[in-house]
Structure 1
Amino acid sequence: MTTDAPVSAEQQRREEELVERVLRSFDGCADPRLATVMRSLTRHLHAFLREVRLTEQEWEAAIAFLTAAGHITDDRRQEFILLSDVLGASMQTIAINNEAVGSATEATVFGPFFVEDSPEISIGGDIANGATGQPCWVEGTVTDTTGRPVPGARIEVWEADDDGFYDVQYDDGRTAARAHLFSDAEGRYALWGITPTPYPIPADGPVGGLLEAVGRSPLRAAHLHFMVTAPRCRRLVTHIFVRGDDLLDRDSVFGVKESLVKDFVTQPAGTPTPDGRVVDGSWSRARFDIVLATEEEQR
């Protein structure tokens, strides 16, 4: 069957009648929001099925795909979030729920590799803890949209190592390239990490197979994750990206925003560091000033 094959008026009537029957099945739902979501989902799902004239073989393939995604998902890997990411659904949800507020820093995808209870470092501390990569100094301020400093903001930072892996992707229980710190009384923060490099999302499962089938790369643009929380402020989940990265316009999860692209400036070997640390070889530095929207500014 081809998608442009004519559909008779009688066939259309039957299909539309089924949609209406399914919609009516939610009439007894006691939760108005759930009823709204389910009715909209039904309309859009059936519209998709009818538009592409989905075959039974394609339906079976879709069920097999979702089953495989369930089988590979565990407490360390969430294949359904990965699927949401590569379809842009994660970024769309973030856009809907994080409307632009003045000069507030833009949000982007959370990603599957955040871990609670990261180690605390002091301002100027090193999150690497043995992770491989070029040392990188990151500094900035945390303010609200009026420019007032936000002291005591909790800043979670995490990233992949130079081999493209997060610590939780290793089997040895290491904690590396992740930590948290707090902004000082003037809203300032600084830390040592490693210069971000591109890496592939996990591509050995059904989502990786999907990307290969449609000719898309699994690579993510180089980035450093941040999650910033402070009293009376909206939580910020974001990344910063490396200016000049070839993958900025084809990040596999559509997470790049121009405002989050920063200069990571390479410093030649022997260049004095901001805190006097002795670095063996070259290092880089970047500035990321974080602006938080207040709870009152949320819609």
Structure 2
Amino acid sequence: MTSVVRHLHDIVREVEPTMAEWEQAIRFLTEVGHWSDDKRQEFIILSDTLGITMLVDAISNQKPEGATETTVLGPFFVENAKSLPYGANISESGDGEPTLVTGSVRGLDGEPVSEARLDVWQAGPDGFYDVQQPNKFPDGNLRGVFKTDETGRFAFCTVKPAPYPVPTDGPVGRMLLAAGRHAWRPAHLHFIITADGYQRVTTHLFVAGSEYLDGDVVQAV
């Protein structure tokens, strides 16, 4: 906290805001708090779009060569998603391009990791997560928890995700507009992977050729 205060003082000395500008900054942060609840975390969106989340993640999750890189959790992760069998479909609507996702979980030694837990979630082909459209789909659409088999493999069916903007209807959206920045993320799927004896990994899989791979608003590619 001492370091935070020192750097805040340095920022104020450099920028020399008026009292009106400082009060506007306080109102902005207050509004960010009012927009945050158990379904949406506007403070996470703020941190993500400022590149702070990825910087903290990179510093605190340094991995040995060959390990999967970690990335941001994002604001739409929901605890206690339904557990599904190998190959199950996480799309309850069927809207979009049918997609099969397969892969394997392995340790740094290359050995398969059986019974690894994969918490999976994604936006739909319209760019929205289920919690953003509670009246359109039931909770849990395009989410699921899977286990790897004895060979370390996993598989599930879904629909192809699309690029989407981070929510722009709140104060962070107005900040991006004022800064002349776009709000878009490339198409991706989220994973949290855990297994006994291994470090937890939060990561993404991006769709090859997706727009915004070179300009992710949260700098997480």
Q: 1:201 aligns with which of 132, 154, 166?
A: 166
**Match of 1:278?**
none
Q: Deviations over 1:151-202 (max 9, x none)?
A: 0000111101111111111223432101011001111111111112101111
Matched, 1:85 2:42: no
In structure 2, what is the Cα distance between the partners aligned to 1:143 and 1:227? 14
In structure 1, what is the Cα distance between the partners aligned to 2:16 and 2:208? 43
Q: 2:183 aligns with which of 206, 218, 234?
A: 218
In structure 2, what is the Cα distance between the partners aligned to 1:116 and 1:210? 29
Distance change (3 Å), C-alpha of 1:81 and 1:131: farther
3-state SS, counterpart of residue 105 of structure 2: strand
Q: 1:180 aligns with which of 119, 136, 145?
A: 145
3-state SS, counterpart of residue 208 of structure 1: helix
**Match of 2:27?**
64
Task: Letter of the 1:236 partner, please give it.
Answer: V
Aligned 8 A contact 1:91 1:254 in 2: yes
Aligned 8 A contact 1:131 1:177 in 2: no
Aligned 8 A contact 1:161 1:194 in 2: yes
Counterparts of residues 113-192 of structure 1 (less than 5 Å): 113-130=76-93, 132-172=95-135, 173-192=138-157
Aligned 8 A contact 1:131 1:161 in 2: no
Matched, 1:244 2:180: no
Q: How many residues align?
A: 219
Task: Letter of the 2:185 partner, please give it.
Answer: R
Calculate percent identity across the aligned residue pairs.
Answer: 49
Q: 1:107 aligns with which of 63, 66, 70?
A: 70
- TM value normalised by structure 1: 0.71
- TM value normalised by structure 2: 0.95
Larger Rg: 1
Extract structure 1 runs of 4+ deviating beyond 4 A: none
Aligned 8 A contact 1:131 1:176 in 2: no
**Root-mean-square deviation (Å):** 1.2
In structure 1, what is the Cα distance between the partners aligned to 2:95 and 2:72? 24
Give, in angstroms, the shift of residue 131 of structure 1.
Answer: 5.0
**Match of 1:27?**
none
Task: Letter of the 2:204 partner, please give it.
Answer: H
Give, in angstroms, the shift of residue 210 of structure 1.
Answer: 0.2
Q: Deviations over 1:9-28 (max 9, x none)?
A: xxxxxxxxxxxxxxxxxxxx
Q: Which runs of 5+ in 1 are unaligned?
A: 1-37, 257-299
